[in-house]
Chains A and B, each alone.
Chain A
Amino acid sequence: MTDTLAAPALTANDFASENEVRWCPGCGDYAILKAVKKTLAEIGAARENTVFVSGIGCSSRFPHYVNTYGFHSIHGRAPAIATGAMLANPDLDMWIITGDGDGLSIGGNHLMHILRRNVNCQILLFNNEIYGLTKGQYSPTSHFATRSPSSPSGSLDTPIDPALFALGCGARFVARAVDTQQKQLGEILKAAYEHSGASFIEIYQNCPVFNDGVFSPFTEKASRDDFQIQVEHKKPLTYGSENNKGLISNQSQFDLKPVTIGQDGIKPEQIITHDQTNRTLAFLLAQMSGRDTPTATGVLYNASEPSYEHVVTEQVSKITARAKQRPEPARSGINDVLRQGFNWEV
């Protein structure tokens, strides 16, 4: 056996770049970076084939911190740049890093279209419900009445929910994760990688500087179990510190209803089993507010459909095959095109 047969497998550390990471101490971005590097090692990613494209914002510094190809582009436009890159080279492993401002404010349009087109990529939306890099203004996901330098008396905008937005745009893979929940985050990243098409992951990311603890009610150890439901495919939708809470179908309201097993005659078999291919269920899970109902995390929706590059390539093959069947010789280059149609000799 010689050591030239196979390159040694890369570790998480091999995906770290030489650049000094410049996020604030305690920022949730560190945990996400760690999970991504670990995932890249686990999936056996090829560094030369892996591309991180980002926009502008704290999260968008991400490409500088991984040792792959990267493009730290302009505000909101990462999905459009990534789409172009995938059209040029459909074999790339494309990761898009964006935030709530980058992805849902200035770049909302591009996010919508990359999702509906189903370009093969992983989109990681770091949601910290605030503008970090510009120093703390409210963002499109900030709660109503958020006080910030640009909204000293409280913001008046109704927030948008990223996962609901993605589902509404026709995304075929929608998941929610929490920066500190490393195990779940890693599993979601892997599932997203394996999904062919656009995978959308909203990651609740704590910004200790400008919006500290905004997700605590459902992410802190003390309250997490009772206010967060981690969904898994084909497993019952149960949660709670004693795992005795669950979701049943509230048919009169076409909604989900949180219940406690054993109370009011609720039996375990009444609890809904998660089906990640059920889009309606995904909507219902995504719209649970986190107040009377828990916040759902995990893979809410995962239904495979051919990716955009796939259909683009397939169409070209069909057109080429059809051209070959025509009586006139198939054109092999632009010179042939120029000589088709009406022309005359002088």
Chain B
Amino acid sequence: MTIVKNDDKIILIIKTKVPALLDKTKRQPLETVVVRIAGDSGDGIQVTGSQLSLANAMQGSDLATFPDYPSEVRAPVGTTYGVSAFQIHFGGRDIKTIGDEPDVLIALNPAALKTNLERLRTGGLVIIDTGAFTSRNIEKAGYEISPLEDKTLDAYKLIKTDISKQTLAAVADIGLSRKDSLRCKNFYALGLVYWLFDRQRESTYAWLQKKFAVHKNVANANIAALDAGHAFGETLEASSDLAGYSIGPAQMENGLYRLVTGAQTMAWGLAAAAELCDRKLVFASYPITPATPILHELATLKDLGVVTFQAEDEIAAACAALGASFAGALGVTSSSGPGIALKQETISLAVSVELPMVIVNTQRAGPSTGMPTKTEQSDLYQAAFGRHGESPLPVLAARSPADCFDVAIEASRIAIEYMTPVIVLSDGFIGNASEPWLIADVNDYPRFGHEQIIIPEAFAPFKRHPKTLARQWVTPGMEGLEHVLGGLEKDHVTGAIAYDPENHQKMTDIRAQKIAGISRTIPDLEPDQGDTTGDIAIVGWGSTYGPISRAVTNLRNDGKAVSHVHLRHLFPFADNQDELLDNFRIILVPELNAGQLLMMIKATGRQNLQGLSKVSGQPFMVREIEAAVDKILEKIND
């Protein structure tokens, strides 16, 4: 064990039993690294994380991030349930997940250490602010003795230093209050991380200068803290055998990039869809975690003609969206599981009156309030089957933040072309995760609209397009075509109230046929990775895309005959889905639920299925999927 003392403030301990990753002479190259920053929710963890993301992106690394924040808005300082964390996986190759386990943990207080240490890879590096390890905080975190003094950290490398004190020293000249000065300590830690991975500080300088354009001293203090943290790293380099790491740029398609979360791309996709079909976007929503950021994003687009409406409740939000579509706009509502449940009666009305509408469900862990900030895929049944009566509708799922943009456009297209409500499934992970996005050009997307030929003399509201079976979208304001819509069963042509049994059978059949027919406009399903035949096809949907994709890459590198098929269309399925899956011996369906897609595929008559279920509020780890595949291969190769 080496102990290096520097100024009495800095202690670097390297446990010799852990193989030394650190090279004194030069930075050690790493392909990718997973860093987790944790602290009190008042410590500015998420800001720190997003700055680290930006700095990485600017240096050409690919990355994926995920914020892990508590449900409580401001939990008492120092408690375990008040810990906010941010995980980032970055590196010199394409990054598909946030990483199974962190390599580096920055713990800004004892509670952050307590709640996050378990995730850290054995032998990983812990950076600790000893200034926050007061006996009171140690006790609040639930430690009996200081974790710095027992064996808690024996299995890890450790940099411990009084970040709080050094931050105060770094910003002393600026003249902020002690409290405000201490609030810069996250940037001190960030500076240290920048040194550790050789990241440039310029993007953070620029961000701080813009963010605190009015409060210049706050910008300057944070910059001073950032620089001090970085300088501290340099002194470590000089005085210890820690030289930091180097991470190369990833190979990325040329073009203009920005960092995006799924909530942003979903919002922009909806706004783009409205432009593409030349309709006003009316977005009606009621605040709910984790769906609300979509409302926040769209509320900033009012100058583009986007109308956002914060309704009195979930039902009103759905109704306002439907009312907007009734009057000729693209009506969209958004929520999470419990809110979607409240909207279902309105969605059934939309099915019955055959008006377009898009419903975005950013799923979270349920049932009931469940774990609002944790992710899950357990609303697939609700989306596909959660209404009353025979009320089929299309269900689409987004696989990643970038994918949300395309899915929002496709859902809007289907809604309008087929005169139907469409449910889009995202989840808390996709909504909050961020990744670099090759910025889309709206002009690259085909325009769409409602194809209708109205002959006023022969007008009837439920006459249908011969191909799509969509009825005509005639909206108030159109002269001579006045009619009444309603939830009572309608005559299959005139739309007049009709109780006749044959008509109800006919309307039920038509509504089902119309939705089933949407599969015609769905491109053929192809493996995302791997061959069209093989031992195993892993069939996923939604946010499991990243872990499945990485696992399949790894497994294929090991020579295993595994393919990855990822579904965007969950109802109806793509026409060739069955045919494609026929070419594999086993179909493995990993889901963050108890097996909902599994059941829906089973219902098509397929036998060779196996589920992989996880319902812990956490995404899949790559190795969990790899292990499931290995187990199957062992069996079938026996």
Contacts and interface: CB of A to CB of B under 8 A. Distances in A.
Chains A and B come from one and the same complex: yes
Interface in B253-279: 253-259, 268, 271-272, 275
A125 interface: no
Nearest to A46: B479
Contacts of A346: 60, 252-257
A184 interface: no
Contacts of A342: 54, 203, 207, 258-259
B309 A84 contact: yes
Given A84-B282, A85-B327, A73 B319 contact: yes
Contact of A48 (B303, B327, B477): B477
B309 A87 contact: yes
A187 B54 CA distance: 65
B477 A74 contact: no
Given A69-B484, A88-B331, A334-B442, A80 B323 contact: yes
Contacts of A335: 441-443
A101 B46 CA distance: 48
Query: Interface residues of B: mostly helix, strand, loop or mixed?
Result: mixed
Interface string B488-532: 100000001100000000000000000000000000000000000
B17 interface: no
Contacts of B326: 71, 81, 84-85, 88
A87 B476 contact: no
Interface in B228-273: 252-259, 268, 271-272
Contacts of B311: 80, 83, 113
A337 B326 CA distance: 28
Nearest to A69: B476
Interface string A314-346: 011001100100000011111101110111111
B320 A83 contact: yes
A68 interface: yes
Interface in B316-365: 316-317, 319-329, 331, 345-346, 349, 353
B261 to A, nearest CB: 12
Contact of A320 (B303, B475, B478): B303
Contact of A64 (B254, B312, B323, B484): B484
Given A338-B439, A339-B256, A73 B268 contact: no
B58 A69 contact: no
B367 interface: no
Contacts of B275: 333-334
Indicate the size class of the contact surface on chain A: 35 or more
Contacts of A304: none
A337 B477 contact: no
Indicate the size class of the contact surface on chain B: 35 or more
Contacts of B253: 346
A113 B483 CA distance: 27
A180 interface: no
A174 interface: no
A6 B496 CA distance: 31
A77 B316 contact: yes
B221 interface: no
A110 to B, nearest CB: 6
B323 A82 contact: yes
Interface string A10-25: 0000000101000000
B425 interface: no
A88 B282 contact: yes
B477 A109 contact: no
Contacts of A315: 302
Contacts of A49: 476-477
B305 A316 contact: yes
Contacts of B83: none
B301 interface: yes
Nearest to B311: A80
Contact of A89 (B302, B319, B477, B483): B477
Contacts of B497: 19, 64
A91 interface: yes
22 contacts: A48-B482, A64-B486, A71-B323, A72-B487, A73-B319, A73-B487, A74-B346, A81-B323, A83-B316, A84-B322, A85-B327, A87-B320, A87-B329, A89-B329, A110-B315, A316-B302, A323-B303, A342-B207, A342-B258, A344-B257, A346-B60, A346-B252
For the complex of A and B, the 3 pairs showing the least CB-CB separation, nearest first, are A84-B323, A72-B486, A84-B320
Interface of B: 54, 57-58, 60, 203, 207, 252-259, 268, 271-272, 275, 280, 282, 284, 301-305, 307, 309, 311-313, 315-317, 319-329, 331, 345-346, 349, 353, 439-443, 475-488, 496-497
Given A49-B476, A81-B319, 5 more contacts: A53-B323, A84-B309, A88-B280, A110-B315, A337-B304
Interface of A: 17, 19, 46-53, 56, 63-64, 67-74, 77, 79-89, 91-92, 109-110, 112-113, 312, 315-316, 319-320, 323, 330-335, 337-339, 341-346
